[in-house]
A and B are shown apart, each in its own frame.
Chain A
Amino acid sequence: MNTLTRHTGLLAAYRRPTAARGPLVLWALAAALALSLLWSAGQGAYGLPLSQLPGLLAGALSSLPGEPSSAELVFFHIRLPRLVLAVAAGAALGLAGALMQGLFRNPLADPGLIGVSSGAALAAGVTIVLGAAWFPDWPRALGSWTLVLMAFGGGLAVTALIHALAQSDGGTRVGLMLLAGVAINALAGAGLGLLSFLATDEQLRNLQFWLLGSLGGARWSAVLLVCAVAALALLAGLRQARALNALALGEAQATMLGVRVEALNRQAVLVTALAVGAVTATTGIIGFIGLVAPHMVRLLAGPDHRWVLPGSALLGAVLVLLADALARTLLAPAELPLGVITALIGVPFFLALLRSAHGRSL
């Protein structure tokens, strides 16, 4: 932790009271996001030096007639949608993680807990393995959207099931939701195991690839959809910041402060299911961002959700951008699965944070 802050110049801010540190951390993360965007724009199988970027952008704006150069084609049709998707996906995952940790009042919660990832995975598995037998006509009408729509619907359906299982005495019991989430996630895992058993080698490879996440298939249509959902999720999520702060005192005390805990719960679950569902349906499962980003922001800015929610979105975007840049460069021209990178880098870093002096006071 110490070396990190010293080298990034955050040490001065780090020593300040957290209230003053919050805005500073957000500015630093925004700057980090801009830098990561610039850096990862040049990374990939087709190298684009940073010096070419202004020319590319100016060329697109002036729209001179003529054949687009290969650099333009790569940048606007492959690289740029991928960068935008990384930012939207990372922001949605980071925000959802912070919302879930706030809602469950547990720093170890992650968006997968409410079943949205496992539901999407199960539905994706059904589509990949059984789709040709069960609904062979769908791809003709929907094309590659079949898998996206199935995964999105699966995520929402399993989240709704877990939410329904947690209803008791006319209200949602968060503890029950946590346990129901663990149980249903295990069940979805079993279903996925069965599907892998039934799958042909090629189907298994497709499924495995999907489960590990990738931004490789980024197309503008899907990217803009994820952007829209992520933006809505940010708008809805950021409004819950103060209520989540009050909820940290406990459900009883939050109620006594006038927080409508039931409505807060429903909104947070819905926002998470929609945002993470849309991201997962497009990219497959990207692990650890939702768990790690809120933690790191809390270590830097303190636990106030007015900073943790936007900070987690910014940091999530940075982490996914960097992880994806590594995924496409480490073994270029081959691509590593994104989920492998996020886990390989995220987990040791996360553990180091937890073991640091500051982490112990979490």
Chain B
Amino acid sequence: MSARPDLATPPTPAKPATPLGGLHAKGLHLAYGAQPVLSNVDFLMQPGQLGVILGPNGAGKSTLLGVLGGLQAPQSGTVALGGQYLTPHNTAWHARHRAFLPQDETPAFNFTAREIVELGRYPHRHHPLPDEAETVRAAMQATAVAHLASRRIRTLSGGERARVQIARALAQTAGSGLEETPVPARWLLMDEPTAALDLQHQHAVLAMLRRVAHREGVGVLLVLHDLNLALRYADLVWVVGSGRVLAHGVPAQVLTPALVAAVWQVQAQAVTDGSGTCQLLWQGTMAACAHAERQL
């Protein structure tokens, strides 16, 4: 377990152990009192992919995402994004290259939807893009909230509000007028972005995020609860339980009925739909899943 880097002398970027552009964590440890929430977690993800963190309630999903995004400092271990360690001194750099959307919190004042999305451009205020208004409009179109631009945020439904916040995160990762070489990867971290969305918008948002990852090379990392959404849209999944990463890899290989039974105590049947995507059918909670646990 490596100690946190010395704040006075930040490590030089692109250390051999820290791939440029990747999201890389080593030896993360965090405990609330005596209860460990993360114990010795390592994490590595490259941009251009859609990753999903899964796990039961209280498994440490949100904490892991928060630590990876720099919202919370780990008690030990390091996090580096794009070769830059997270320290209190480079929060502005990270804000330009990484958007983080925590679970929904209603804004304190009744801004319009457009004003909320414009706040995503705050980190780029010193180096704006040539057309900031168009950047904001494009982000709002991506989550289908452009028609709500002049509406007050408190007059919107929960799902509409969530899509406005997702548009804000998109606007934050839309880049700035600042020239950097090599161009660092951009990251989009979101905690349960689909929680308030209806079926149509859950799929629309995840398909959009997958396009953003694949076409624009953005690293997208989400916390989700819906295993079937993860199976359909994720390139990689991490299953978290009791503060550790229990399994990670390609969704269809990781999310087997045996693992689901062991982690979520729910019996599932894996089926393949017409497009060749693996999905799970639920067959109720398990009274006796002991043998599945033994298998793991």
- Residues of A at under 8 Å CB distance from B? 17-19, 105-107, 242-243, 245-250, 252-253, 255-260, 298, 302-304, 361-362
B76-104 interface with A by 8 A CB criterion: 91-92, 94-96, 98-102
Report the bound CA distance from A245 to B168 in whole Å: 13
Which of B46-78 touch A at CB < 8 Å? 69-71
Binds A, one of B112-120, B213-221, B258-266: B112-120
- Chain B residues near A258 (CB, 8 Å)? 91-92, 94-96, 122-123
Contacting pair A248 B92 (CB below 8 A): no
Supplied contacts A106-B108, A248-B109, A303-B110, 5 more A-B pairs, CB within 8 Å = A249-B119, A252-B71, A255-B91, A256-B69, A259-B122
Q: In the complex, which residue of chain A has the Cβ closest to the Cβ of B104?
A: A250
**Can you list 15 A-B pairs, Cβ within 8 angstroms, ordered by A?**
A246-B119, A248-B108, A249-B105, A250-B102, A250-B107, A256-B69, A256-B100, A257-B95, A258-B96, A258-B123, A298-B109, A302-B111, A303-B115, A361-B154, A362-B110
Residue of chain A at shortest CB distance from B69 = A256
B interface vs A, CB < 8 Å? 69-71, 91-92, 94-96, 98-102, 105, 107-112, 114-116, 119-120, 122-123, 125, 150, 152, 154-155, 172
CA A109 to CA B108, docked complex, whole Å: 12
Among B91, B108, B120, B125, contact of A105 (Cβ-Cβ < 8 Å): B108
Nearest-Cβ distance from residue A25 to partner chain B, whole angstroms = 15
Most interface-central of A249, A255, A303, A304 (chain B CB within 10 A): A249
A260 contact set on B, CB distance < 8 A: 91
CA distance A107 to B123 in the complex (A): 25
Indicate which residue in B71, B125, B150 contacts A256 across the interface (CB closer than 8 Å): B71
Residues of chain B contacted by A243 (CB below 8 angstroms): 122
CA A258 to CA B71, docked complex, whole Å:
11
- Contact (Cβ within 8 A) B70 A17: no
Q: Which residue of A lies closest to B92 (CB)?
A: A258
**CB neighbours of B154 from chain A (8 A):** 361
**Closest B-chain residue to A298, C-beta based?**
B109
A302 with B71, Cβ < 8 A, contacts A242-B122, A256-B102, A257-B123 known: no
Q: Which chain A residues border B92 with CB–CB below 8 Å?
A: 258
Q: Please, which residues of chain B bring their CB within 8 A of the CB of A303?
A: 109-111, 115
